[in-house]
Amino acid sequence: MDYRFATPEDTPLILYFIKELASYEKMLDEVVADEATLREWIFEKKKAEVIFALENGKEVGFALFFHNFSTFLGRAGIYLEDLFVMPEYRGKGYGKGLLKVLAQITVERGCGRLEWSCLDWNKPSIDFYLSLGAEPMKDWTVYRISGDTLQELAKG
């Protein structure tokens, strides 16, 4: 199995994988990202990174991640925003391989942890993560402010 970091030329492919993941999660109507926005934020502003899993040179899965920070650990971590393997390539080790590469990057960069969120109904993914030794954070709830609510809060 081969893996590679995305380049700016991969922006259409990144958007494709994002939409495939959103479709799987029944959230395709929430995707407003476009190629220009992804190119700006991933490659120009360098706010995220993408790794592809390859089979015979073809991209069959991807992971999009970025650095976060733990004040308790006093160091950065890696937050996995998206992990997706095309359905016809699942069960071949690509998802585990992507997480292994991310774990290696986390360790190489001296980061304190690798973490992500998963939809509560996504039992196949939850079972997969548990099989790798991942621990659900049962005492934590994710909160979000976005859209009009974000704009109103920013105005004060």
Q: Residues 3, 16, 129, 143: which is the catalytic one?
A: 129
Is 129 an annotated catalytic residue? yes
Contacts of 69 (CB under 8 A, 6+ apart): 75, 76, 77
| 29 token code pair | 């109507």
Listing from the earlier edge strand, what are the strands of the sheet with 75-85? 2-5, 49-55, 58-70, 75-85, 114-116
User: Helices (H), strands (E): how many in the chain?
Assistant: 5, 5
Cβ neighbour number for residue 113 with a 10 Å cutoff: 13
Which tokens sit at 8? 């700016």
**What positions carry a catalytic annotation?**
129
